[in-house]
Amino acid sequence: MIRKSIALLALAVSATACGGGSGETPKAAEKVTLTYSLWDPNQLPAYQECATAFTAASGVQVKINQQGWEDYWNGLTTALVSGTAPDVITNHVAYYPELAANNQLLDIQPYVDRDKVDLKQYTGDLASLWVKDGKRYGLPQDWDTIALVYNVKSVKDAKVDPAGLKDLTWNPTDGGTFGELIKKLTVDSNGKRGDEAGFDKSKVATYGWGLEQGGGVVGQTQWSWMALSTGFQYLDKNPFGTDYKLDDPRLAQTLTWWQDQMKAGYVMPRQEAGRLGLEPMMQTGKAALVPDGSWRIGTWAGSTEQKFAFAPLPKGPQGRKSIINGLAPSITAATKHPDQAWQWVKFLGSPACQDLVAKRAVVFPAISAAATAAAESHKAKGVDVSAFTDIAADPASLSYYPITGSANEINTEAQAVIDQIQELKVAPADALRQLDTRIADILK
């Protein structure tokens, strides 16, 4: 199916390319079809709606191609090499530096200047994430933050007041009230809770804290918020730092505390977490709480098996900290229709499109007003997403996704170490120090 649609896409691209080649002078009647690609199937309907609106307004057709995350990035490289890449791609901050460094992306700064795009309409500092060496490679289209997801029944059964979850604290020494909470939420097969005498950590029925595998060097949902709340910073500067600070003792301390909770039986062990992600463990009640990103609000809010709700991240020694990250459309350098591609990018970054996205509320649109509208749509459905939106409104709580070159290589290297920490095979302090050296080699 996917392969077939790629072939069709390639055909479409070459067909339009031929059409463009014959008439060098732009004719008003020339029919242009842009190709646009994205990876999240949940977002496809929203952007399809944008595309329809865009075609109605400009006469330019947009053909959207959706592929899963991994196929998307592998396919993109080969498509760029073979000259069949889409005109506009959905881009991620972990990937765009490498594409830009290889001259595969169009600098849109001249267009932004010409059309006087208001970069202040976007949430926080999202727009500047896409600037590298004075060139701009995307306009923010959405953002995401992290919050806690909990099983309402588990919290009730533990006799914890849900209102109290709004003011959790955490520190890497005793874990604060968050540490207390996950002990209480952990129940063994005899019904004993983690903070009661006789708790058997080898027979846990429900873990207080679920575990998602992966995360690489960032640990965006897994541990970033703990480490950042101690004052830890990933890089010497962001974006485009050249030195990862993984030998920071505060990071080692954070991950050691995390590992201690695993040893004590309050966190789902890595071996049990499985490769199917957070959903099975939360839906089957094997875990009571997990930190997760706003891009999965729909999954949790729409669950029919369990009732889930959201709570803000705990306050650490340096306050509450969440990574904020966002996607942006980039124009590929080889596009035959740069002007029309820019019209589409501008439309994606405008209220006209983002208000449509907000109505469907699959993601938080980058424009602050549209994000508020998305939160309202959630509220109308009875879902309180303030845990995600409040933190996004507070610049002091936000930390931007670490952006460097060679992100894939660094993530592979770091993931192996995080796996070993989760399998309790290494002490975080030593392992992180060695990892720091290896990553420094990659970035050299």
Partner 1 sequence: MTLTVGRAGPARATGQHGTRRRRPSSDARVAWLFLLPSLAGFAVFYLAPTLRGFWISLTDWNLLSEPRFVGLDNYRDMLADGKFWNALRITAEYVVINIGSQTVLALAIAVLMDRLTRSVLVRAAIVVPWLVPNVTVAIVTLFMLDHNVGFVNHVLELLGLEAQAFYGDSDQAIATIALVNTWRNMGYTALLFFAGMQMIPRNLYEAAAVDGAGEWTMFRRVTLPLLRPVTVLVLVVSVIGSFQIFDTVAVTTKGGPADATRVIYYYIYQKAFNEFHMGYAAAMAATLFAILIALTATQMRMLRASTSDLR
Q: Can you tell me the distance from the alpha carbon of 376 to that of 214, in angstroms, rounded to the nearest whole number?
A: 32
Q: Can you tell me the distance from the alpha carbon of 63 to that of 116, in angstroms, rounded to the nearest whole number?
A: 27
CB 150 to partner 1: min, Å: 18
Burial class (CB in 10 A: 0-12, 13-18, 19+), 332: buried
Q: Residue 286, interface with partner 1 (CB under 8 A)?
A: yes
Of 218 and 362, nearer to partner 1 (C-beta) is 218
Q: Residue 416, interface with partner 1 (CB under 8 A)?
A: yes
Q: Residue 408, interface with partner 1 (CB under 8 A)?
A: yes
Of 15 and 416, nearer to partner 1 (C-beta) is 416
Binding range to partner 1, per CB under 8 A, among 109-117, 122-130, 233-241, 414-422: 414-422
> Could you please report the per-residue DSSP string of 374-408?
HHHHHHHTT---HHHHHHHT-GGGEEEPP--SSHH
Question: Which of the residues 21 through 80 are near partner 1 (CB under 8 A)?
Answer: 73-74, 77-78, 80
Sign of the Cα torsion 19, 22, 24, 30 reads negative
Of 352 and 424, nearer to partner 1 (C-beta) is 424
C-beta atoms surrounding 173 within 10 Å: 9
Q: Can you tell me the distance from the alpha carbon of 134 to that of 128, in angstroms, rounded to the nearest whole number?
A: 10
Of 210 and 291, nearer to partner 1 (C-beta) is 210
CB 338 to partner 1: min, Å: 19
Of 190 and 408, nearer to partner 1 (C-beta) is 408
Binding range to partner 1, per CB under 8 A, among 23-31, 61-69, 236-244, 416-424: 416-424
# chain residues binding partner 1, by CB under 8 A:
35
Of 62 and 418, nearer to partner 1 (C-beta) is 418
Strand partners, 311: 148
SS3 220: coil
Q: Residue 190, interface with partner 1 (CB under 8 A)?
A: no
Of 119 and 440, nearer to partner 1 (C-beta) is 440
Contact 186, 265 (CB under 8 A): yes
Q: Residue 303, interface with partner 1 (CB under 8 A)?
A: no
Tokens of 147: 């919050």
Contact 121, 92 (CB under 8 A): no
SS3 192: coil
Q: Can you tell me the distance from the alpha carbon of 85 to that of 4, in angstroms, rounded to the nearest whole number?
A: 15
> Contacting partner 1 (CB under 8 A), which of 49, 98, 260, 390?
98
Of 104 and 141, nearer to partner 1 (C-beta) is 104
> Contacting partner 1 (CB under 8 A), which of 180, 317, 415, 429?
415
CB 286 to partner 1: min, Å: 6
CB 272 to partner 1: min, Å: 5
Q: Residue 242, interface with partner 1 (CB under 8 A)?
A: no
Contact 213, 270 (CB under 8 A): yes
CA torsion 244-248-253-256 (nearest 10°) is 40
CB 196 to partner 1: min, Å: 24
String marking each residue 74-93 x if it binds partner 1 according to CB under 8 A = x--xx-xx------------
SS3 211: coil
- Please report how the helices 368-380 and 351-360 are oriented relative to each other, as an axis angle in degrees rounded to 10: 20
String marking each residue 102-141 x if it binds partner 1 according to CB under 8 A = xxx-------------------------------------
Contact 97, 403 (CB under 8 A): yes
CB 164 to partner 1: min, Å: 29
Of 95 and 240, nearer to partner 1 (C-beta) is 95
> Could you please report the per-residue DSSP string of 228-246?
HTTT--SBSSSSS-S-B-T
Question: Which of the residues 252 through 281 are near partner 1 (CB under 8 A)?
Answer: 270-276, 280-281
Binding range to partner 1, per CB under 8 A, among 29-37, 40-48, 351-359, 403-411: 403-411
Beta carbons within 8 Å of 376's beta carbon, 6+ residues apart: none
Q: Residue 213, interface with partner 1 (CB under 8 A)?
A: yes
Which residue in the block uniquely carries the two structure tokens 């995350």? 69
Of 305 and 339, nearer to partner 1 (C-beta) is 305
Q: Can you tell me the distance from the alpha carbon of 373 to that of 379, in angstroms, rounded to the nearest whole number?
A: 10
Supply the Cα-derived Rg of the chain in whole angstroms. Answer: 23
Of 148 and 421, nearer to partner 1 (C-beta) is 421
Where along the sequence are the contacts to partner 1 (CB under 8 A)?
73-74, 77-78, 80-81, 98-99, 102-104, 213, 270-276, 280-281, 284, 286, 406, 408-409, 412, 415-417, 419-420, 422-423, 425
